């Protein structure tokens, strides 16, 4: 599951609202791979681009996403993966965000909340597709 989530370039193939994702920069910092990712999200006539810094730490089985630029005042999400045995993982996922504009938040805030909830289903479906194992997603 770590590899599936770390492969951010594939997000437009399966994540709701993710129209495009481009890696603008890839570097190694302190033994961790750090990506600067530009993501475009869209729904009907609404389109927004934002930039985030993605720190991949396979040794700690964690992924940290930090906001750089776009319509948010703040955005951060963290993933931590704990193996449970053959073909199973427990995934701790955390997200916090706040839009820069109250008007924009009123327009798309509830849509963004729903999209975040759908992401869990999308990652589970992608795992089923790639690994062929049907399982239950546990998040906290």
Mean pLDDT of 38-42: 89
pLDDT at position 85 over 90 = no
Q: Is residue 140 part of a domain?
A: no
**Contact predicate 80/61, CB 8 Å:** yes
Partners of residue 88 on adjacent β-strands: 85
Q: What's the predicted TM-score (pTM) here? A: 0.82
- Is 136 contained in some domain? no
| 85 found inside a domain | yes
Q: What per-residue confidence (pLDDT) applies to 107?
A: 66
pLDDT bin (cut points 50, 70, 90) of residue 108 is low
Residue 137 included in any domain: no
Encode the chain in three state secondary structure.
CHHHHHCHHHHHHHCCCEEEEEEEEEEEECCEEEEEEEEEEEECCEEEEEEEEEEEECCCCEEEEEEEECCEEEEEEEEEEEEEECCEEEEEEEEEEEECCHHHHHHHHHHHHHHHHHHHHHHHHHHHHHHCCCCCCCCC
Structural domain harbouring 9? 2-131
Asked whether residue 68 is assigned to any structural domain, the reply reads: yes
Q: Is residue 139 part of a domain?
A: no
30 within a domain of the structure (yes/no): yes
Q: Give CA–CA dist 115/44, Å, rounded.
A: 14
C-alpha closest to that of 97 among 62, 48, 25, 137: 48
- What is the count of structural domains for the chain? 1
Average confidence (pLDDT) over 57-69: 96
Confidence class of residue 12 from pLDDT cuts 50, 70 and 90? Answer: very high
Q: How confident is the model at residue 72 (pLDDT cuts 50, 70, 90)?
A: confident
Is 58 within a domain? yes
Q: What is the CATH number of the domain that holds 29?
A: 3.30.530.20
Higher pLDDT pick, 111 / 68: 68
């Amino acid at each position: 599951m770590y590899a599936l989530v770390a492969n951010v370039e594939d997000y437009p193939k399966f994540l709701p609202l993710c129209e495009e994702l481009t890696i603008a920069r890839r570097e190694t910092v302190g033994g961790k791979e750090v990506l600067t990712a530009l993501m475009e999200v869209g729904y009907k006539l609404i389109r927004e681009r934002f930039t985030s810094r993605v720190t991949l730490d396979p040794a700690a089985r964690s992924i940290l996403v930090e906001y750089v630029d776009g319509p948010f005042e703040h955005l951060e999400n963290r993933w931590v993966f704990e193996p449970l045995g053959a073909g199973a993982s427990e995934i701790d996922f955390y997200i916090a965000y706040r839009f820069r504009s109250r008007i924009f938040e009123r327009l798309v805030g509830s849509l963004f909340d729903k999209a975040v909830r759908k992401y869990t289903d999308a990652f589970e479906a992608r795992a089923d597709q790639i690994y062929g194992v049907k399982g239950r997603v546990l998040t906290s």
